[in-house]
Each structure stands twice: as structure tokens, then as C-alpha cells.
Amino acid sequence: MANKTLAIIKPDAVKDNYIGEIISMITKAGFNIKAMKMIHLTKAQAQKFYEVHKERPFYNDLIDYMTSGPCIPIALEKENAVEDYRKLIGATDPTQAEEGTIRKLYARNKQFNAVHGSDSDENALREIAFFFSEKELLENYYD
Ligand code: GDP
Ligand code: MG
């Protein structure tokens, strides 16, 4: 049974020209791309997406970061998608991330950490719906 997760190539990684490398790592790891776009988030959109973090001390910095340039949300599908994708990206702080993970290779630091990954199946569906309509999700393409 295929599960979904939301990846985002964040503004630092777009600016650092790692789009191709990151997408290549994702597809080589067996994920199917269900939908993808490039979007420059408004402040209101970023605040809404990261609402769960609004009490955290880094919230305002996170909003500034995520609105600093375009990012690339990607809806992914794979068995065990949430866990497998988080394994592929590594720990939030790249100094703690395992060798060969996306964050170890391409993140600048704990804030500018190259990619987002959903943390549960429930949040994955919410986050995917935030960026993509039903029509954009190519539901039957890989069947
Ligand atoms: P993730 O699930 O691994 O992305 O980490 P979190 O959900 O805990 O945090 C969301 C995002 O906020 C991270 O990916 C970072 O971009 C940023 N962030 C997390 N922790 C910190 C921190 O301690 N300081 C700063 N400046 N940013 C942070
Ligand atoms: Mg998180």
C-alpha cells in the first residue's frame, strides 16, 4: 500500500542550485513524484503552513527563511513514505545528519537545511492538500 509524504526543496537549496541533485536522490530512492511546482510563498502562506510551530522561538526566522525565495513542494508516494523520506533527508541539524543524507550533503545549517519532510501520514495529507489540488495529484498515473 503506497503512502504519501510532502517534500519541499527549500529556498536555500534552490538558490544553491541543488534542485537536480535532490530530485535525483528522491527518485533513485524509489519515490514516485505525484505533483511538483515552484512557488514563492507569501508571508501569510508560510505562516499558515508552519502554524504548528508558531509558539517555537525560531518561528519568525523560519517564516523569513521560507519566504526568502522560491521553493519546490513535491508530493511523493512510496510504501512507508513518511519514515523512508525522513531517513533519506537525515536529522534537522545537518551536523547530526547521517553521511549520504540530503541534509548532510546540501544543508547549510540547522535553519537553512535544504528540505522539508512531513512527520506523519496525517500531516502529509494536510501538507499535500495545502499545495496541490486533487486534479494536480495525478492519482492514477503510476498504477
Ligand atoms: P524538521 O521536521 O526536521 O524539518 O524540523 P522541525 O519540524 O522541528 O522544524 C521545522 C524547521 O524549522 C526546520 O526544518 C528548520 O528549517 C527550522 N528549525 C528547526 N529547529 C530550529 C532551530 O533550533 N533554530 C532555527 N533557527 N531554525 C530551526
Ligand atoms: Mg517538522
Compute the average pLDDT of residues 12-36: 98
Widest CA span of the chain, in angstroms? 43
What residues contact 35, with CB distance under 8 A and at least 6 apart? 74, 75, 128, 131, 132, 136, 137, 138
* Closest ligand to Cα 96: 1
Residue matched to cell numbers 513518511:
82
Residue matched to cell numbers 545528519:
97
pLDDT value, residue 143: 65
Q: How far is the CA of 56 from the centre of ligand 1 (A)?
A: 9
Compute the average pLDDT of residues 87-106: 98
Read off the pLDDT band of 113 (50, 70, 90).
Answer: very high
Q: What is the pTM of this model?
A: 0.97
Domains and CATH numbers, the chain: 2-134 (3.30.70.141)
Output the ligand 1 site: residues, CB below 6 A.
53, 58, 61-62, 92, 110-111, 113, 116, 119
From the list 44, 41, 34, 13, the residue with the least C-alpha distance to 125 is 34
